[in-house]
Amino acid sequence: MKVVPKYFEHENRWASLLEQHHGEPIPIQTVYWWIQGKRRPGVKSGKQKHGQKLVKCPLFGPLTAYLLAADLSYTGKVAKPTTAEVAEMIRIIQRGSWKALLALGQITDDASAEETGIALKRVYDAVWDG
């Protein structure tokens, strides 16, 4: 119960993030990294634009952060992920989907996001067209 107030502290940060995007859907990877309290790879360290300090949402690991970001895409506040973005997140998180693609022999441990996307599409097509 001690972390519950911390979730409510994120309300103002969320409002600020929405405001920064001027009513446009926020890219899903931006939301993922925001939930993680981290900066997107390739972004300089320090505070986010508009002085917002990065703070991790308590008890949110990589998979939960992605699932929340994906769920928020149904609200229209977060952009629906492209296949390339899903593949990149699968590669970053390396949980269920990654392990399934490995077990099926569709990717190797060092697969790139592009290779992951190709494998993901191949499996998707086999399941739906199969």
Q: What is the pLDDT of residue 8?
A: 82
Q: Is 35 exposed, middle or buried (0-12, 13-18, 19+ CB in 10 A)?
A: buried
**Could you give the CA distance from residue 77 to residue 25 in angstroms, rounded to a whole number?**
5
Find the distance separating the first CA and the last CA of the chain, reported in whole Å: 47
Q: What is the pLDDT of residue 56?
A: 83
Q: What is the pLDDT of residue 73?
A: 96
pLDDT beneath 70, residues of the chain? 42-52, 130
**Could you give the CA distance from residue 44 to residue 34 in angstroms, rounded to a whole number?**
14
Of 31, 12, 34, 17, nearest to 78 by C-alpha is 31
**Could you give the CA distance from residue 30 to residue 92 in angstroms, rounded to a whole number?**
14
Report helix, strand or coil for 78: strand
Q: What is the pLDDT of residue 12?
A: 86
pTM for the predicted model, two decimal places: 0.81
Q: What is the pLDDT of residue 66?
A: 95
Give how far Cα 118 sits from Cα of 27, 44, 62, 123, Å: 22, 30, 22, 9
Q: What is the pLDDT of residue 40?
A: 77
